[in-house]
A and B are shown apart, each in its own frame.
Chain A
Amino acid sequence: MTAFFPAAALVPEQTSPLVLALPKGRILKECSALLSRAGVHPAADYLDEDSRRLRFPTDDPTLDVVRVRPFDVATFVAFGGAQIGICGSDVLMEFDYPELYAPLDLDIGHCRVSVAGPGDWIDTAETRSWSRVRVATKYPNIARRHFAARGIHADVVHLNGAMELAPGLGLSRLIVDLVQTGSTLAANGLRESEVIAHVSSRLVVNRTALKTQPEAVGAWIERFRAALAP
């Protein structure tokens, strides 16, 4: 038997607050000023990474905030667990969820997704002659698509961190990773060879939520848009 979902349609409208998913870590601090300009004031401990709470009420009873890993923001919003979220365009590129709309560029969290390799070798490598290449990355889809467009099959080594170690330890020739200043690459003897995409944080909304609750979700998009205006 299928575990049927509760008959949500029988629950009166607007009893449960909308959920805004925020990414843990670097971007969370960067977006706090934007949040307060948009009128989102979560419980004080939402910025405290040691807090065990994951879901925070805000001063607005119709909005709660959840704090999840940056990659999971897209998933929570795509599945409708959260209706609104803030996540990097790198995450949107990687998952490519058709259920996500990205109506606003928040102009924070700027960085880039790039290809990098050992500094002494990458400059002279004849990449055009390759049929395949081994790449360590936390972006398997972006990496495969990028190399496929150049006629190269990417054998992906999927890592969740410390990609910079991979070429030196023989896991892969190249890495595809997020680059902000390039100092981590340099410290590990790697050099950026190609920028795949420039990244910034986006406001994302669940497609169905926008269709079924256009007033509530649309109002939040408007508030963020107003908060962005110079």
Chain B
Amino acid sequence: MPDTLPDALANPALLPAGLRDLLPPEAETEAAAVEVVMAVFAAHGYERIKPPLLEFEDSLLAGSGGATADQIFRLMDPDSHRMMGVRADMTPQIARIATTRLAAAARPLRLSYAGQCLRVRGNQIAPDRQIAQAGIELIGCDSLAADAEMVLVAAEALAALGLTRVSFDLTLPRLAPTLLDEAGFAGPARQALLRALDRKDVASVVQHGGRLAQTLSDLLLTAGLAGPALARLESIELPPLSAVLCQRLAETVRAIQARAPSLKLTIDPLEFRDLPYHTGVCTAVYATGRHEVLGRGGRYVCGDDEAATGLTLYPDAVLRACAPPRLPFRVFVPVGADHLAAARLRTGGFATVSALDPVDDPIAEAHRLRCTHILRDGQAQAL
């Protein structure tokens, strides 16, 4: 066999870009955190459902799912010879279930879910391709109370993980397209203007904005803390449809503030990024000092015409922002120790690590196995 150059990519530990192994204690921390979040959702009456990892492409991409088309891993079902896709987002699946299997269920329908999603590519700043989601959907109700409930329940779930320094950014992804529609922008001019708005590039907005230039520049400047920002927003004169959207944003902010006066809210009316299928007020969750979004949500149309709203938390990002939940103490159980005592400890929330063979120095062995305690005289003694 001829000599070959060493292949740096042949290391068996190497994973494809954007994927990772979760080891102890991270894997357990993640599972525990997801359960904390799901317990809060359940306590608010959201019932858990579990769609499959992959399904037929047609159903995955129907309706609101179409927005994820370029992020879907596809494979052919050898059985039916139909194309299947791996979900990149769970909300379209929940919407499918709500309009089919649960079409007859009473409205408003409150559903929760937790699972893994895959996307074809990450980006330089957020390279992950496997993304965990834990979220809620409230289907069959177009009300301020429903919009507010999403934010309040998500805030409570984050607080249950000890994460209280969060802010919710409320946006109106339909506002920019509506304003441009009302002013008759189309074609390349519209694309250039939308792009400038997305980057808050005021110089380009002025360049491409035509008679909307002043209104759009003013709207860009309204972004900020909800109180003063709403005052600025309400001083701007808008065409009828756009004004209705902004009115709804203001009412949503007030509905949330009435229930949770201390929650930090910001608004950014012209933001429309990453929210391709959303129709009304949308939310992104941030933690001060962190550079990533902890969750996203908003209003969308479920199936053909049913009003729905939802919010998804990203447990990976949430865990990077909060102190991880404390894991159980690990108690070393030497050979010959009292197994009933060990069972009692497990009932009490300890994890026990049983010695399989006798050892000379049980304390050293306990340290070696990363235990925090040792079972002595029927008690867990801290090391």
- Chains A and B belong together in one complex: yes
Contact surface of A with B, Cβ cutoff 8 Å: 1-2, 4-5, 7-11, 13, 78-80, 92, 97-105, 200, 202, 206, 208-215, 218
**A208: chain B residues within 8 A (beta carbon):** 286, 290-293
Complex partner residue of A9 from B198, B284, B287, CB under 8 angstroms: B287
A98-B123, A209-B291, A218-B224 known; 7 new pairs, CB 8 Å cut-off, are: A7-B321, A9-B287, A10-B323, A98-B199, A102-B199, A206-B291, A211-B284
Contact with A along B101-124 (1 / 0, CB 8 A): 000000000000000000000011
For the residues of A in contact with B, the DSSP-based class is mixed
Q: How far is the CA of A210 from the CA of B292 in the complex (A)?
A: 12
Q: What size tier do the contact residues of chain B reach?
A: 35 or more
Instruction: Give the number of A-B contacts (CB < 8 Å).
Output: 93
Q: Do the beta carbons of A212 and B202 come within 8 Å of each other?
A: no
Q: Do the beta carbons of A9 and B225 come within 8 Å of each other?
A: no
Given known A100-B199, A102-B201, A103-B202, contact A214–B223 (CB-CB < 8 A): yes
What is the chain A residue whose CB lies nearest that of B195?
A96
Q: In the complex, how many angstroms separate the beta carbon of A89 from the nearest chain B beta carbon?
A: 8
Complex partner residue of B225 from A102, A103, A209, A214, CB under 8 angstroms: A214
Q: Do the beta carbons of B203 and A105 come within 8 Å of each other?
A: yes
**A215: chain B residues within 8 A (beta carbon):** 224-225
7 A-B contacts (beta carbon < 8 Å): A7-B321, A13-B289, A79-B125, A202-B201, A206-B291, A211-B286, A212-B290
What is the chain A residue whose CB lies nearest that of B201?
A102
Q: In the complex, how many angstroms separate the beta carbon of B164 from the nearest chain A beta carbon?
A: 9
Given known A97-B125, A100-B199, contact A211–B323 (CB-CB < 8 A): no
Q: Do the beta carbons of B203 and A202 come within 8 Å of each other?
A: yes
Contact with A along B231-267 (1 / 0, CB 8 A): 0000000000000000000000000000000000010
Q: Which of B199, B223, B293 has the most CB of A within 10 A?
A: B199
**A2: chain B residues within 8 A (beta carbon):** 20, 22, 26
Contact surface of B with A, Cβ cutoff 8 Å: 20, 22-23, 26, 123-125, 163, 165, 167, 169, 198-203, 220, 223-225, 266, 268, 273, 284, 286-293, 319-323
Given known A1-B23, A101-B199, A102-B203, contact A78–B125 (CB-CB < 8 A): yes
Given known A2-B20, A202-B203, A214-B224, contact A8–B266 (CB-CB < 8 A): no
**A211: chain B residues within 8 A (beta carbon):** 167, 169, 266, 268, 284, 286
**A97: chain B residues within 8 A (beta carbon):** 124-125
**B323: chain A residues within 8 A (beta carbon):** 7, 10
For the residues of B in contact with A, the DSSP-based class is loop
Q: In the complex, how many angstroms separate the beta carbon of B192 from the nearest chain A beta carbon?
A: 12
**B23: chain A residues within 8 A (beta carbon):** 1
**A10: chain B residues within 8 A (beta carbon):** 323
Q: How far is the CA of A90 from the CA of B26 in the complex (A)?
A: 42
Complex partner residue of A212 from B203, B220, B288, B322, CB under 8 angstroms: B288
Q: Do the beta carbons of A102 and B202 come within 8 Å of each other?
A: yes
**B224: chain A residues within 8 A (beta carbon):** 214-215, 218
Q: How far is the CA of A148 from the CA of B169 in the complex (A)?
A: 37
Closest 3 CB pairs of A and B: A105-B203, A80-B291, A8-B289
Q: Which of B26, B200, B266, B290 has the most CB of A within 10 A?
A: B200
**B223: chain A residues within 8 A (beta carbon):** 210, 214
Q: How far is the CA of A79 from the CA of B198 in the complex (A)?
A: 18
**B225: chain A residues within 8 A (beta carbon):** 214-215
Q: Which of B167, B287, B289, B293 has the most CB of A within 10 A?
A: B289
Q: Do the beta carbons of A212 and B289 come within 8 Å of each other?
A: yes
Q: In the complex, how many angstroms separate the beta carbon of A153 from the nearest chain B beta carbon?
A: 22
Q: How far is the CA of A98 from the CA of B268 in the complex (A)?
A: 16
Q: Do the beta carbons of B273 and A98 come within 8 Å of each other?
A: yes
**A7: chain B residues within 8 A (beta carbon):** 320-323
Q: How far is the CA of A210 from the CA of B199 in the complex (A)?
A: 12
What is the chain B residue whose CB lies nearest that of A4?
B320
Q: How far is the CA of A10 from the CA of B165 in the complex (A)?
A: 9
**B293: chain A residues within 8 A (beta carbon):** 208
Given known A101-B199, A103-B200, A211-B169, contact A9–B290 (CB-CB < 8 A): yes
Given known A9-B322, A11-B289, A13-B288, contact A214–B200 (CB-CB < 8 A): no
Given known A1-B26, A4-B320, A102-B203, contact A212–B286 (CB-CB < 8 A): yes
Q: How far is the CA of A98 from the CA of B271 in the complex (A)?
A: 12
Q: Which of A5, A98, A100, A104 has the most CB of B within 10 A?
A: A98
Q: How far is the CA of A209 from the CA of B169 in the complex (A)?
A: 12
Q: How far is the CA of A210 from the CA of B289 in the complex (A)?
A: 11
**A13: chain B residues within 8 A (beta carbon):** 165, 288-289
**A104: chain B residues within 8 A (beta carbon):** 202-203
